[in-house]
Amino acid sequence: MLHPTKLGLAGGIIWAISMFICTLLAVYTGYSKEFLMLMSSIYPGYTVSLGGSIVGLIYGFFDAFIGLFLLAWLYNMFVSKE
């Protein structure tokens, strides 16, 4: 049995920090810029900039939280039917 909220929080934190760090690296070094340009087409208002790192942090958290919450919830639904 998975705990949807806990899995969502753990994944949300990891993805939020990843978006934040990758954005800062892209601003200063250009690293992962192509990937982040793709993310800017998914997350409205996100840009590869210092301000964008905060927007990416917020979007990243909610994106991963909702996705992993639903994954754990669905997994628990299938497990309970066995």
Write out the residue range of the structural domain in which residue 37 sits. Answer: 4-80
Q: Quote the number of domains for the chain.
A: 1
List, for residues 9-67, the tens digit of each pLDDT value.
999 999 999 999 999 999 999 999 999 999 999 999 999 999 999 999 999 999 999 99
At residue 82 the predicted structure's pLDDT band, cuts being 50, 70 and 90, is: low
Q: How many CB atoms lie within 10 A of CB 44?
A: 8
pTM of the model: 0.90
List, for residues 38-47, the tens digit of each pLDDT value.
999 999 999 9
Of the candidates 38, 13, 8, 11, the residue with the CA atom closest to the CA atom of residue 23: 38
